[in-house]
Amino acid sequence: MENTTNHYLHINSRHRLDTGNNDAVVKVHLSKPIKNCVRCCVKQFNIANHLYNIRKGENILRWVEFYKPELNNPLGDKFFYRQFSVAIPPRYYTAEELVQAINALIGAMSNHTVTDDINEQIPTIVLSQIAKDQENQYHIKLEFSDGSPGIKYFAPVHQQTSLWRHLGMSDSQCIHAMKRVKTEYDDISENLQNLNTTYIYYNALTLMGTSGTPISKISNFPATIESPSGIYITSDQLTAGETYETRINQTNKFCEGVATNILEFVQFDLGRYSYIHKDYVYPHYHGLHKKDITEVDVALRSEEGTLLSFQECGDFNMIIQFECAEVNEVSEEDIRAYNAEGYRLAHTPDRILLK
């Protein structure tokens, strides 16, 4: 087994080049290459736990509404649908602040109707935080009322990133768009004509109540929006396709593992405004196959895989360990001396001593 030595790179994100781009990416140009790198790992990482919980690229709340007009309406006896969304300004929110912000955004929506039917009314959708079953856990309650003469249903929609999950909504309480073969909702509209309890989206669909008798829906799980689970450290330069990550294949909808550039996952296991210090005893090693490293790139991504900005996560410090093979390198002086000696021996006559 070959001998190895360790080299360490200390990275302070505050030393990054100011390019005007606020992405949480640091590129380090090494003044001297780190040669013959066998493998590397994140040895230590340090960041303050003040991460935004509503971030750019993950701040869209989506849902779909289905509406069937009253009998003898010119539009016909069927359900129509339309997807709606609100964009929440990125920052940190408590659960109570977040539901208030969502309520204000929904209340300010224009053209919040499914059809052009003049009889269809704008529904009232209100989110609130409640204690459930005397537990010390807070769930999200949605309350619906609608004054339209027809029938209207509401369903949360999961995309690749979903705020509903952090608000405590389980998969069964949402339409998971990434797992659907169809991109439209015609099949759901058809099933609403004779909805039964065995239908895959039965628990995701909520009949909206009337103005006088609203209907509510409560999240299956407590809201975890106030506690981000952690962040990913990624790198293109320091990974070689030997780490895999699961995803939903959008062709066959299978769960598949694909090569990824994840270096390490940093779990946030302390309260907000604490410092997260990670010193990895059993680090996640990445093979570099005796590569010479002249440049290092690292980026921070959310637990959903979205690239963060420094405004959302703040600065960080980290130490990367490189395990390098020991190679006996020959200097230029040694090579010149070797060649000179060879030349001398080749051009010096042999001496024969006679006695």
User: Which tens digit of pLDDT belongs to each residue from 141-177?
Assistant: 999 999 999 999 999 999 888 899 999 999 999 999 9
Residue 136's pLDDT is 66
Query: Cα 171 from chain centroid?
Result: 17
Please choose, from the candidates 220, 216, 59, 224, the residue with its C-alpha nearest in 3D space to the C-alpha of residue 125.
Answer: 216
Contact residues for 238 (Cβ-Cβ < 8 A; gap 6+) = 40, 263, 286, 288, 293, 296, 297, 298, 320
Least confident stretch, 28-42, 85-99, 322-336: 322-336
- 278: which strand partners? 45
User: Which tens digit of pLDDT belongs to each residue from 231-270?
Assistant: 999 999 999 889 999 999 988 999 999 999 999 999 999 9
Q: What is the residue-averaged pLDDT of the chain?
A: 92
> How much of the chain exceeds pLDDT 70, in percent?
95
Residue 331's pLDDT is 67
Q: How confident is the model at residue 135 (pLDDT cuts 50, 70, 90)?
A: low
